[in-house]
Structure 1
Amino acid sequence: MRARVVAFAAGVAAFAAAPAAAQLQPEEQAIVATVEDGFESDVALLEKITLINSGSHNHAGVKAVADALIPEFEALGFTTEWIDQSANGRAGHLFARHEGAAGTTKMLLIGHLDTVFEPDSPFTGFVREGDTAVGPGTLDDKGGIVVIIAALRAMKQAGTLDDANIVVALTGDEEDAGEPLEAARKDLVEAGKWSDVALGFEGLSIRDGKDMGVIARRSSGGWTLTTSARSGHSSGIFSEYAGYGAIYEMARILDTFRRELAEEDLTYNVGFMAGGTPAHLSEDGLSATTSGKTNIIPSTAVARGDLRALTQEQNERVAEKMRAIVADHLPGTEAQIAIEFRYPPMAPTDGNHALLDKLNLINADLGREAMQPYPPSLRGAADISFVAPYTDGLAGMGPAGTGSHAEGETIELRSIIRQAQRTAILMSRLSQERPDD
């Protein structure tokens, strides 16, 4: 079912030509009402799981959130499985499965149990003021989990869940994935290969006050650059016998990156650097130390940064260009770069565009505006990217809010309603399709 990759701009107006939408069916009208009626119960569930600290390294807390959710899924007829990840340095993942009619669309719903806020974080609690609430993970991604449950509950009430083939994958380490990454994401990738459609429930993208559709997300990788040179008295700098020193070689490489790598949807940030005699990268790779004197040519320099691209082809092509730039040394210097691809890209495809078209038919039936594709350069990587090579997908199906990953993270509570209604109707319609026919 995988559709070919297309240029992002090609599909921006694709849904403009979509056929006129039909009216909501009676069961879809029931979904709309059920989600609305369940709003306060959904907020109560959000508060309950927000008050459980589930920083990625708080294994007991991540498991406690899963334990709080298991009864919610089982009440809807799902079988649940806790997939232990202690061998990979993390708590585990919660998978919930529902078997429906044979041959119909297989749907994968993706969210995560963990947050960036560890137990020692001063940002705690759940504070509601009207239709907003502040708390760690309310938006990213406990609010997304609540959207999933609200949508499934509405489908159950309306009778559209019976035929639906669904796997819900709630990872316990999205904010800081376990190692090795292949093992940490093995179960998710297998679910992606099983599915026909994947929906990612991180936060809703909004631009100029309008809800947007996420059909693409960029990759997230990293690089480590090390330069070395002969040290000596600074009076010899630039000479044939002394060369240019490690810092000038580092500066040459980074500035050449800046000048020669620029292209659409690509970024390559330098997170930190250090140079001197010597410079050392810390064991965890998150800091560096150095020392030196102004009259000594520096012997070493280190820098680390990230690399984000829209397609795997762009990833690999840019990485080769980076390696070529690094290899063109200044006299008297050496340099090495190590590039690691971690989160793959979710490239824009015909299939992803077609899913957004279907969602926009639902928006029309609900009396809402069509959702334009959100620029992928404005979103980070996510777990849905791991399944993007195998299935069509939409991301950004979670609630709206502000301040993800920061103290004061806020959710717009009533956005749970519109996202759950969209999701439930979309899944209900997909559950009646037979993608292999």
Structure 2
Amino acid sequence: MKHAAPFEVKGWCPGALKPMQSGDGLIVRVRPRCGRLSPDELIALAEAAQRFGNGHIDLTRRANLQIRGVSEETLPRLHAVIGRLGLLDSTSQGEAVRNLMISPLAGIDPTEVLDIRDIARKLARMLASEPTLWALPSKFGFIVDGGGRLTLANERADVRLAAVGNGAKIAVAIGLDAQAGTDWLGSVVPAIAASVAVETAHAFLELKPTGAGQRMRDLSADGLASIRLAMASRIDPLALDPRKTVGSLARRVGLLELGSSRFAVGIGAPFGRVETDQLAKLAGEMAACRVKEVRLSPWRILYAEVGSALAGNALLDAARSVGFITDPGDPLLRIEACPGAPACRSTRLDIRGDARRLAALLPRFGFEGTIHVSGCAKGCAKSAAADLVLVGLEDRYGIVRNGAAGDCPTSSASFAELAADPDTIFASAERRSR
């Protein structure tokens, strides 16, 4: 069975200075500095989204924020607001290459190996200020991970920095995103980690990769070996496997007890969509709870440190009252869904409406796997595999099990047909995911 729904692969991500046209107007992506915003900045962005867009805001898989429905006429006024907040880059090229994610609990989690915020700030400045790096592919990305309970170990990036070690013997491992997983080159002292990451990107550019989609993972074994050779004099042997420094929280959403009398909250947005009034009310409650920073994450979850469990639960109650996800068992957390029609021109299906209806069925059938509902085979909401994928085929859904939206469906059905007999699809998908 072939994909029938047409879609356009742009090959780049929108920015503030280079917005992308969609079915509901321009998409303007705001890249917070190292994934952090204050509650007051969130309120200002929410108000701007209401005044200059259509009031819809998306939290992205790259820990950014997108304002939708902007017009050519309102874009300059939106730029003025973003600029006043210090979030507007001097060039679109520098903005596009400033593509990095950091541990959302950096500096908060007492079990982290290293507070990597200084490394991330230095790397962000270098990426935006060195024109030679602007030749990197538009989706070329970096991860800076300090370890601890809530890490980015399962997220992909072309160049990965991961803190390793303990006590006085702390280093930063340097890894490349290869087809088989992370190819660890070695480690460096924290003081030069940002510079070495930039040198690694230069080594990639020396290979003169061609094509807008060319990424580190697309290099041949010879290409990876060339980068390894170029960096050999700068990198020490890896003394500790970075995977051994990865901790985990039992959950990402709700009240997070971090130890040493420190607490944080994780607040999810269904499918990453936030409305302006929701965000403004949440940010106002955060300010009242004396939250200083709000951290974005690739899981479309907002994190904030709170002074006590009591304050955290009060903030979670307020978030729940305006439609955010605060229950770690909420089935919506296991479903990824793109905006769908009419916001996207690549589908005629009500993707998020169908995803919500699907979530309501999950508890009854005991399905515990991951689900991706995509309007087309491009799979914007989730590039990785899911246990069950529904992908738009005109007015029907193609069904893919243990795969991605771009894979060939094994069968298709309308949503009404799926809802009428969900046991068949859930039971089959569950057996395959085990």
Q: TM-score, normalised by structure 2?
A: 0.21
Higher-Rg member (1/2): 1
Which of 1 and 2 has higher RCO (CA within 8 Å, sep 6+)?
1
TM-score by length of 1: 0.21
